[in-house]
Chains A and B, each alone.
Chain A
Amino acid sequence: MTYQTVGQSVARLDGIEKVTGEAVFVDDISLPGMLHARVLRSQRAHALITGLDVSEAMAQPGVVAVVTGRGLPRRIGACIQDMYPMAVDRVRYVGEPVAVVVAENPHQAHHALASIKVSYQDLAVVTDPWEASRPGAPQIHPDQAVYHRLPGIHPLPGSNIFHRLQVCRGNTADAFREAFLVVENRYWHPSIYHVQLEPHGAIATYHQKGGLTMYASSQAPYVVRHVICELLGLPPGRVRVIVPYVGGGFGGKSDHTIEPLLAWVARHVPGRPVKLVLTREEMACGTVIGRGALVHYRSAVSQDGMLLGVEAEVFLNGGGYGDFAVNIVTAAGISATGPYQVPNIKITAHGVYTNTPPTGACRGYGHPEVHWACERQMDIIAARLGMSPVEIRLKNALGPGKVNAIGQQMESHNGRVDLCIQQVVDALGGPECFLPRTNPCVGSIALEPGGIEADPLPHPTGANASPKAEPSGACAKPAAMPGKVRGKGIAALMKCPIMPTNAQSGAIIKLEEDGGVMVSVGAIEMGQGCHTVLAQIAAEALSLPLERVQVAPQVDTFHSPYEWQTVASHTTWAVGNAIRLAAAQLCDKITRAAAVILQVPAERLEVVGGRVQDRERPERYLTLQQLARGYTDARGTALSAPLIGEGNFVPQGLSHLDPETGQGNIAADWTFACQGAEVEVDTRTGEVTVLRLVSAMDVGKVINPVLAEGQIYGAAVQAMGAAICEGIVFDREGRIRNPSLTDYKVPGVEDMPELQALFVETPEESGPYGARGLGEHGAVCVPPAIANAIQQATGLEFFDLPVTAEKIIRAQQKRGVPA
């Protein structure tokens, strides 16, 4: 299939605006009479509020209002209504809003916070999801049984578990009894930040006639609107949410964060806009964090490396409120077996309340947490069996005709993980670089559970792992410096969009008077380039040059078509489909209008290159411009009216999971990929240098190669941070010790490895031009790929992220290798 615009690396439509600073973000907006809000946040992780006195703060200069949770009408939440927008009588994490000062300027608001008096009665604190799941743990939501929740959410009353998902297939008891090898480990992925460049911010005006207008840095204006309507008892037509450009989301601006809080605050100062923009430190404790999962993983394997069974228990940190984490639990549960066919499965995923900030969506959404376990496990199994990590993956890989963990049978259009694995292996130097380790095991052994305390592998060939395995050819690499060892590792993945079965997307295409089009969508441009890709799809579908296509940059719930939210890597796929439908409808209207004018049956007309023309006699045509201006005949009589196409898309045929077995058709499509890393480890300092990160992904048709590569690079580097340097540190009182970038380290430009993105393009039947999602996937498997490479280099096995220099030195010392 040849395309005009699809498949081209066109420059981003928002590029010039962004590099020149002309692009408008929430904090750039200033409205007449605007007030400023600052938030008093709980310094206690778990406490009852026994007193709250704001009178002195009210008297401070410039203060217009001090708002508390008193009088909040109801709890909010899309899945479980378990939270108020600010604390009412109890706080559940350090950072939970307790009071908000509204003042004429931000300084006055900030300084008045100190005059608010709060007294607390402390309760026991728990920040670890596994500990919080044990009987006897401090109860964080004692009344969770009465919360309103959607069907399909299974809490465990009397515990901190707010959702439990089971995925069962076959009979694991038999599989484990008959296994040649059982490998069991515990894996930990700590909580992380999204580190968006643009902080969360919003401006809200509660109108004196009732109703609310809000500018928000949000991935989900329609979710925000819904929640505000519920909170304030307003109809959707009275709540307007406008989203300008967003400076990075990564899931951390999906659902809702500060918006309901600000709506409640604005309610107290009708007629005056109120702005709230968080500081970097507030983003850490005042929005959502990502990940935070303990995975207990058991694999049963045959002698020839076939996966016979998997038993896994996942404990996902939900934080103080579980609403945002419910579907992450589901995602983790259904993807815990990775991109492999496993006949016997018993997975239980728990979402657990703790006293940390709530866990929300974070690039990868449950998949990185379980792939960290699954893909480390594969390398450990391969080493135990004396098998190549490549071979064991190819043997078990899902593919056409195979069945995944939730019972969906893969079709040929679903993509090819085997090809992705082969591409990464070739890019890293070929299968010779991944020869079997030399420590085969006999019989069934169980590892010590988790942590770097676990027994490390015997080190096969001294300091550098199997030097004989790298004899020559493509695999040979410049020799590492003395004291430094190198290794390569791979990890494979499968990810589907986790969404409601009725996640809707709309698109409107207006024919403009110059014959170009204006596309309106509800999808947010947050740096990922979706408006450029959507413009390409519209241009292709309308056979227009790209310059003739504009995408309205602001999303406004008063005008933009509905969009569930810009998450789940589903925008190109779902909104792209809506655009194709809208384009088809517009073409249909164009041909019908032209048919009247040209006196040719509409079926004989086609829209090509800015014209509508007779297929049989192409010299008979109208330009789209002629039509759009309102075509008039010789007498001046109008023969055409404004032309607008609309497209509405909803995924087809999805269903809920079976509550007992977790089987069902919940995933609309899958993206398969493999990622590989080459690392160098300084055995004296433990420092890890990631030399290369290679990703091969079956994304279906690539709409824009440069943007697709950019997404994969960005995701891979973000996940490299989780692999080697990132992680939120809580103290025993539940306070975050590294809320700023001083001690929460993200990779800098100096840390950049050589990056490579390769594409397998198996066309996706359900996607526009065969495209499927790719935005998050590059973040799923980098940590295990890096840890697998470290294992090849050093022989050390790691189970806890991040794998820091400290941990490497400690593990080496434990093994007794001199530094």
Chain B
Amino acid sequence: MMPLHMEYVKPGGLAEAVSLLRQDDACALAGGTDVVVQMREGKLRPRLVVDIKGLAELQGITGQSGGVWVGALVTMAEIVKSPLLQAYRAVVQGAGCMGCCEIRHRATIGGNVGNASPSGDAAVPLLVFHPQVVIHGPGGQRHLPLANFFRGAGKTVLQPGELIKGFLLPPPPAFSLYMRHTRVKGMDLAGVSLAAAIDRQGQVTVSMGAVAPTPTRFPQVEELLSGRPLSWEVIAQAAEVLSAAITPRATSLRATPAYKKEMAKVFLHTALSRALEEGFGQ
């Protein structure tokens, strides 16, 4: 049931949005696929809902110095269709598996990152592309690596009045892949997920979802795998390290810690074999 006393405002511009969002108990509303669910469950009780859907500055996918700018309001459906983003395959796969067709037409990338779920299907693959989060707020604009954006489950570095404007993706890697386990093939949240990327210099990046309070990268695994030909021995070793590095909470209904640890190995193995098959990582 929705809160009894709640105001809704759709600001005309970014400056107005920022000043509204500085108010106590204000909350940004993009696609609303998390916000509305959380309000209905009573987990979120905003006094003011600021609908940012109309903000032009937060829209669009454009090429930028070899990389890509992705506005915060870009939806999953737009990501899936975007010619510019096809080179960032993992995030296209993540966006493509989120929710269902209807959800993908409403859910935004800013909302997925802003919601800071441990298993965000856009956030987890996005991490392996080393993006900068562009934040707009009362003090102007600031940039931050996405890896430093999350502060915990549902927690981010955003201060009152601050908004995600969008994401700056550096030039795409040579290879990337995202995979997740769900309990049904139909709509479900990830029980465990993994994204991996290999750039042209052989640098490997690995992130996982639903194994820690936030989407997380694994430097120790990346180091093991980077800058050398991928052999089965190295992959197996990296899989063990990755599996040992995660300590998932025991209370999840979506997957047990034991299963997540096993899938960490299987997913990493699958991703890297796929890379080898496609001619990368030698």
Contacts and interface: CB of A to CB of B under 8 A. Distances in A.
A725 B183 contact: yes
B189 A750 contact: no
A106 B259 contact: no
Contacts of A725: 183-184
A521 interface: no
B263 interface: yes
A806 B255 contact: yes
Contacts of B184: 725, 745-748, 750-751
Contacts of A750: 184-186
A738 interface: yes
Interface in A715-731: 725, 729
A438 interface: no
Contacts of A746: 184, 186
Given A110-B1, A684-B266, A743 B253 contact: yes
Contacts of B240: none
Contact of B188 (A745, A810, A813, A819): A745
Contacts of B256: 806
A750 B184 CA distance: 8
B186 A819 contact: no
A656 interface: no
A310 interface: no
A804 interface: yes
Interface residues on A, range: 20 to 34
Contacts of A737: 253
Interface in A96-111: 106-108, 110-111
Interface in B172-207: 181, 183-189
B223 to A, nearest CB: 25
Interface in A68-114: 106-108, 110-111
Given A111-B4, A805-B259, A685 B187 contact: no
Contacts of A738: 253
B1 A106 contact: yes
B47 to A, nearest CB: 15
A742 interface: yes
A1 interface: no
A692 to B, nearest CB: 15
B266 A805 contact: no
Interface in B252-276: 253-256, 258-259, 262-263, 265-266, 270
Q: Which of B181, B183, B258, B263 has the most CB of A within 10 A?
A: B183
B2 interface: yes
Q: Which of B184, B259, B266 has the most CB of A within 10 A?
A: B184
Contacts of B263: 685
Contact of B181 (A106, A687, A743): A687
Interface residues on B, range: 20 to 34
Contacts of A686: 259
A93 to B, nearest CB: 20
A745 B266 contact: no
Contacts of A685: 181, 263, 266
Interface in A355-386: none
Nearest to B188: A745
Q: Which of B188, B265, B270 has the most CB of A within 10 A?
A: B188
A749 B1 contact: no
A107 B2 CA distance: 8
A819 B253 contact: no
A819 B266 contact: yes
A328 to B, nearest CB: 27
A809 interface: yes
A185 B259 CA distance: 26
Contacts of B1: 106-107, 110-111
Nearest to A61: B4
A108 B2 CA distance: 11
Nearest to B252: A743
B258 A804 contact: no
Nearest to A802: B183
Interface string A502-527: 00000000000000000000000000
A750 B265 CA distance: 26
A729 B183 contact: no
A106 B256 CA distance: 39
Contact of A809 (B253, B262, B270): B262
B18 to A, nearest CB: 31
Contacts of A689: 185
Given A107-B4, A729-B253, A743-B253, A751 B185 contact: yes
Interface in A133-186: none
B230 to A, nearest CB: 18
Interface string A675-688: 00000000011110
Interface in B1-22: 1-2, 4
B253 A748 contact: no
Contacts of B186: 745-751
A738 B186 CA distance: 17
Interface string B121-132: 000000000000
A737 B2 CA distance: 22
Given A106-B1, A111-B4, A810-B258, A742 B189 contact: yes
A687 B254 CA distance: 13
A374 to B, nearest CB: 27
A91 to B, nearest CB: 22
B181 A819 contact: no
A751 B188 CA distance: 12
A59 to B, nearest CB: 15
A809 B261 CA distance: 12
B12 to A, nearest CB: 30
B176 to A, nearest CB: 20
B254 A805 contact: no
Contacts of A111: 1, 4
Contacts of B2: 107
Given A107-B4, A685-B263, A751-B186, A805 B253 contact: no
Contacts of B188: 745
A686 B181 CA distance: 10
A742 B184 CA distance: 11
Interface in A654-691: 684-687, 689
Contacts of B4: 107-108, 111
Nearest to B181: A685
B165 to A, nearest CB: 30
A689 B184 CA distance: 9
A636 to B, nearest CB: 65
Q: Which of B2, B254, B262 has the most CB of A within 10 A?
A: B262
Contacts of A751: 184-186
A106 B1 CA distance: 9
A578 B102 CA distance: 46
A748 B262 contact: no
B96 to A, nearest CB: 12
Nearest to A721: B184
A806 B270 contact: no
Nearest to B1: A110
Interface in A300-351: none
B244 to A, nearest CB: 16
Contacts of A810: 258-259
A167 to B, nearest CB: 37
Contacts of A813: 262
A471 to B, nearest CB: 31
A452 B270 CA distance: 27
List of 6 A-B pairs having minimum Cβ-Cβ separation, nearest first:
A748-B186, A750-B185, A110-B1, A743-B253, A745-B183, A750-B186
Interface of B: 1-2, 4, 100, 181, 183-189, 253-256, 258-259, 262-263, 265-266, 270
18 contacts: A106-B1, A110-B1, A684-B266, A686-B259, A687-B181, A742-B189, A743-B253, A745-B184, A745-B186, A746-B186, A748-B186, A750-B184, A750-B186, A751-B186, A805-B259, A806-B256, A809-B259, A809-B262
Given A748-B185, A805-B181, A809-B262, 9 more contacts: A110-B1, A684-B266, A743-B254, A745-B183, A745-B188, A751-B186, A805-B259, A806-B256, A813-B262
